[in-house]
Structure 1
Amino acid sequence: MRVALTGTPGTGKTTVADRLDATVVHLNDVVRERGLTERTDEERGTLVVDVDAVADYLDEELGAEAGPVVVESHLAHLFDADQVVVLRCHPAELVERLRTREDAASHDPPKTPEMVSRSAEENAEAEALDVVLAEAVEQHGADAVYEVDTTGRDPDAVAADVRAVLAGDREPSAGTVDFTEWLL
């Protein structure tokens, strides 16, 4: 069983994935290590992923994997999965998380402080507009999508919610989290 653990950057995917008792593929690391990119977006200071190459990698590497495999990335929902867990976070908290964790010099490619600030705001807006959730539902259907709100929550509690999805103890919940008021 393949589970996509996805969400806007800053929602807690990597932190939660590291608390799961499952095989976890940190997709962003795989993309960098294997060079599965098309180019660098100089304006945003980000790599543009080669989606077809990533899909091929996942099919080749995870095709025969036994047990649940969690593919963690803000792009994980774009690929084949049996279930999709979308981590959500209130945009105001998301901006704070991103600005706190983002050290412009630590990026590959490097980002200027202005890029970091603009990225935090863009990600908060995407979160308020349900961009990742909408893509996940479009790709996999509402019956395969589970939203988990991470706002103000301990990562262990969030991981417990994800484990409940993996165990089949939680019903799909696409559309239960709403941050549109942040846009007003």
Structure 2
Amino acid sequence: MRVAVTGTPGTGKTSAVDALEGSDEGVPNGLEVVHLNEVIEPEGLYEELDEERDSLVVDFEAIADFLADREHVLIESHLAHHLDVDRVIVLRCAPEELERRLEQRGEDDPSRAESDASIAENAESEALDVILAEAVDRHGRDAVYEIETTDRTPSEVAGEIRAAILGDREPSAGTVDYTDYF
């Protein structure tokens, strides 16, 4: 089984997957966890640097090759829904809270600070369901599990991820609505 945990930056992907890994039960089905954003640069899984956004332009073909021999894997990244997986878990967060989290992240760790424009772009993307729509378009509604993270702890979100992996909850694309953000 191949599982993607994805979502707009700031929705809590890394925190929830870390909580899942650190839980007493561990990651279900013995899935190997790959925090994709941590391996892109060291493994050379990118094409170039986008200087305007100060980010790497990933090479999805290289990423697919890197993951090719991993049949039992949980891939965590805002890009994970672009990969060949069996289930996609999309973490969602209210845009106002997302903005707060991204601002706080930059205050806590200046190397992770995002520009005001980037924070606004991420909040707008979340309100417009961009990642959810991409996931449903690529994988179909029956493979996508939407999890609201706004007022939940990483451990609570990890429990929902566990349930989705184990098939203890139904696919749920389209259950979260942030259109009132605009």
Identical pairs, percent:
58
Is the CA contact (8 Å cut-off) linking 1:145 and 1:172 kept in structure 2? yes
Is the CA contact (8 Å cut-off) linking 1:128 and 1:180 kept in structure 2? yes
The number of equivalent residue pairs is 172
Code of the aligned partner of 1:70: L
Is the CA contact (8 Å cut-off) linking 1:3 and 1:82 kept in structure 2? yes
Is the CA contact (8 Å cut-off) linking 1:102 and 1:116 kept in structure 2? no
Question: 2: distance between equivalents of 1:56 and 1:116?
Answer: 32
Question: 1: distance between equivalents of 2:136 and 2:176?
Answer: 14
Note the residue ranges of structure 2 that are not aligned, 5 or more in a row.
21-25
Question: 2: distance between equivalents of 1:94 and 1:126?
Answer: 11
Q: Deviations over 1:29-48 (max 9, x none)?
A: 11021121111111111111
Q: Provide the TM-score with structure 1 as the length reference.
A: 0.89
Per the alignment, residue 176 of structure 1 pairs with: 175
Code of the aligned partner of 2:39: V
Per the alignment, residue 81 of structure 1 pairs with: 85
1:142 deviation in Å? 0.2
Q: Deviations over 1:95-153 (max 9, x none)?
A: 0000110258515xxxxx7x521111100000000000000001100000000000021
Code of the aligned partner of 1:3: V
Note the residue ranges of structure 1 that are not aligned, 5 or more in a row.
108-112
1:25 deviation in Å? 0.4
Do structure 1's residue 40 and structure 2's residue 49 form an aligned pair?
Answer: yes
Question: 2: distance between equivalents of 1:116 and 1:58?
Answer: 31
Is the CA contact (8 Å cut-off) linking 1:86 and 1:147 kept in structure 2? yes
CA RMSD in angstroms comes to 1.4
Stretch of structure 1 that moved more, 51-60 or 73-82? 51-60
Q: Deviations over 1:142-173 (max 9, x none)?
A: 00000000002111111111111111100000
Question: 2: distance between equivalents of 1:148 and 1:131?
Answer: 15
Per the alignment, residue 72 of structure 1 pairs with: 76
Per the alignment, residue 95 of structure 1 pairs with: 99
Question: 2: distance between equivalents of 1:136 and 1:55?
Answer: 17
Per the alignment, residue 17 of structure 1 pairs with: 17
Question: 2: distance between equivalents of 1:26 and 1:102?
Answer: 20
Per the alignment, residue 23 of structure 2 pairs with: none
Question: 2: distance between equivalents of 1:95 and 1:121?
Answer: 7
